[in-house]
Amino acid sequence: MIELAFQEKFSKWRVDDARVPAACGLSGLISQDGRAVGGEVIVESMRILRERGNGLGGGYAGYGIYPEHKDYYAMHIMFEDFQGKKVCEELMEANLEIEMGEEIPYRLVEGICDVPLLWRYYALPRPERLEGDGLQADDFMVKLVMDINTTVPGTFVFSSGKNMGVFKAVGSADTVGEFYELENYTGYTWIGHDRFPTNTPGWWGGAHPFNILDWSVVHNGEISSYGINKRYLEMFGYECTLLTDTEVVAYLLDLLIRKHGLPLDIACLVLASPFWKDIDSLGDQTEEDLEKSLRIVYGSALLNGPFAFIVGYSRGMVGLNDRVKLRPLVAATKDECLYVSSEESAIRQICRNPDRVWAPPAGHPVIGKLKGDV
């Protein structure tokens, strides 16, 4: 009995809080002129990184993939069963005007099994609900997604941005791409991930990318500062509910950029801050004051530990390493296209002759931005 009671007591920690260390392969591309790239390209790039994963999680995010529904939040949701779907849809009906709901198309491929119900909905918050809660549409959606993910059994919203979508599963990245028929989508930004979890719960939601609204993150590494990043985010109402530390990256970007209004490159100075010795020797008082303020105010948002991540968002893509570069990250350009990946081979697989290839220094972001509208 004692043991049972003990287990019950800590079941919360065992499930909600247990971090799953993982090593991984990453790849991302953005055509900064907005040219559409087929989903099969990123799948091809990920195929070469198979060695970095172990078949227990793969996924993609594409931007610009739903042009005909681009003004709606595209919610990708996985349900364990119809009961969860029913509860979730009732909750959504109460809060959202749903333009359309449909099953996400997929084909059965070898190596992918236990497929949950995979649905997508194009929706907007009900105006009366926004007024009632006094929230902006984005805040309302964040809250709703967190509500669904924490309260509706067996249900997980894995993507919620506009004109973008996340596709992920338990399987290797290339088979996940085939499973979701990514060749039928085109987008201007794609990011992909192959996962090597060292202790996996075998849950589809645990694969990358992680998404909150516009932000999608693929991540290789371990956020050793996770404990304080999580507690810092909780101060601002974010609930870290997943089985991994990667979600803090997405939430921190959302907080810093959307809520605190920091430009992306300055947000990167928070996440992988320069060392004090470098700040002290900047020689420019304005820059020194700025970087000092960022470190002092946002110390709890510093991501510490080995990481390389690629973040996709509607206006661009950013690759970032930890401040001593403990995980690989390579970048390349060809014409208007920027590539970022764990390995040069994954870039050359889809871009034989890049104009320039380089290894971004520790803590220096590589940022690709969309020029003009799409």
Partner 1 sequence: MQGSLIPNEFVVDVDHQRCRRCKRCILNCGFGVFDFQSMTTADSSKCVACHRCVMFCPEDAITITRNPLAFKEHSSWGIDSRKAIWKQAESSGMILTGMGTDLPWLNVFDHLLIDACQVTNPSIDPLREPMELRTYLGRKPDKVEIEVDDKGKPRAVNSVENNIKLETPIIFSGMSYGSVSLNTHRALAIAAQRLGTVMNTGEGGLHRELYPYKDNIIVQCASGRFGVHSEYLNAGVAVEIKIGQGAKPGIGGHLPGEKIGLEVSGTRMIPVGTDALSPAPHHDIYSIEDLRQLIYALKEATGYKPVSVKIATVHNVAAIASGIARAGADIIYLDGFRGGTGASPAVIRDHVGIPMEIALAVVDSRLRQEGIRNWVSIIAAGGIRSSADVAKAIALGADAVGVGTAALIALGCRLCQKCYTGNCSWGIATQRPELVDRLDPDWGAERLVNLINSWSLELKEILGALGINAIESLRGNRERLRALGLDSTVMEILEVKPAGV
Query: Strand, coil or helix: what is 341?
Result: strand
Phi, psi torsion values for 111, nearest 5 degrees? 95, -5
Cα distance between the two ends of the chain: 61
- Which of 340, 225, 324 is CA-nearest to residue 274? 324
Is 299 a binding residue for partner 1 by CB under 8 A? The answer is yes
Cβ 278 to partner 1, closest distance in Å? 9
Residue number, 162 or 230, with CB nearest to partner 1: 230
Residue number, 112 or 257, with CB nearest to partner 1: 257
Amino acid (one-letter) located at 34: G
- Which of 67, 53, 339, 35 is CA-nearest to residue 177? 53
**How open is the CA angle 38-42-43, to the nearest 5 degrees?**
100
Cβ 209 to partner 1, closest distance in Å? 20
User: How far apart (Å, rounded) are the C-alpha atoms in residues 242 and 19?
Assistant: 9
Whether residue 24 lies in the annotated active site: yes
Residue number, 19 or 334, with CB nearest to partner 1: 19
Cβ 189 to partner 1, closest distance in Å? 25
Contact 78, 86 (CB under 8 A): no
- Residue selected from 26, 56, 123, 262 as contacting partner 1 according to rule CB under 8 A: 262
Cβ 289 to partner 1, closest distance in Å? 5
CB-based contacts of 349, cutoff 8 Å, min separation 6: 44, 45, 47, 48
Number of chain residues interacting with partner 1 (CB under 8 A): 52
Q: Which parts of 221-240 interact with partner 1 (CB under 8 A)? A: 221-222, 224-228, 230-232, 234-236
Q: How many residues are recorded in the chain? A: 374
Q: Which parts of 321-360 interact with partner 1 (CB under 8 A)? A: 323-324, 326
Q: Which residues bind partner 1 (CB under 8 A)?
A: 6, 9-10, 13-14, 17, 19, 21-23, 198, 221-222, 224-228, 230-232, 234-236, 260-263, 266, 273, 275-277, 286, 289-290, 292-300, 302, 304-306, 323-324, 326
